[in-house]
Structure 1
């Protein structure tokens, strides 16, 4: 399958949206990737999963968010997911995207 060019932003409101069109917004960091439809779908699923951990809706209406242990678990799950997102963005990324990610040291060099 042929790869197509897509743009990914990690804005919490629209994190799982992968667009074929670049958004010209100076405040928004977009990562350019080249992906097959299957790779795009897998990344969308990963983004959706990570976004779900960003703020567990169930914890908003309880006092769980005041429990440091529960909060730490949620934060750790979110961070692990975000690490996975950046690894996938790097893998699918164009040369410019790979350079951006390397510059901000978001890839684990221990692998």
Structure 2
């Protein structure tokens, strides 16, 4: 079994070995090297998709085409769901409680599932 280490994930998608600031909310997780890499990949994909959407403003054919917009919203929802699901699975008991209190997983699952079905 791979050894797990403690990491702290910020809202900006930074994964840190120790909490750097008491004023910032962190999701504390226990992750192996591979799990951390998976989490980093999800965060990278979210940031890349956000940048792509921002650039769409300058591409009228894509930006004003609702099919593309639906696709991008579906991808956002799917990535957000995957991120929170992964944080929940790797999270400490406090992190799991925080995510449960946010009630974000059911809503994100519905949004990503509904939007993806519309695009198909």
The reply to whether TM is greater than 0.5 is yes
Q: Mean alpha-carbon deviation: is it higher for 35-44 or for 62-71?
A: 62-71
Cα deviations by residue, 1:25-81 (Å, 9 ceiling, x for unpaired): 53x432110001111011101111122112316524312223333222111101111
Does the CA-based 8 Å contact 1:54-1:75 persist in structure 2?
Answer: no
TM (norm. structure 2) is 0.76
Q: Does 1:43 align with 2:76?
A: no
Aligned length in residues: 105
Cα deviations by residue, 1:13-34 (Å, 9 ceiling, x for unpaired): xx2x3111213153x4321100
Cα distance between partner residues in 2 of 1:29 and 1:80 = 23
Which structure has the greater CA radius of gyration? 2
2:76 is aligned to 78
Cα distance between partner residues in 1 of 2:78 and 2:21 = 29
1:3 is aligned to 4
Instruction: Give the 3-state SS of the residue equivalent to 1:33 in structure 2.
Output: strand
Q: Give structure 1 stretches of 5+ with no counterpart.
A: none
Instruction: Give the 3-state SS of the residue equivalent to 2:3 in structure 1.
Output: coil
1:53 is aligned to 49
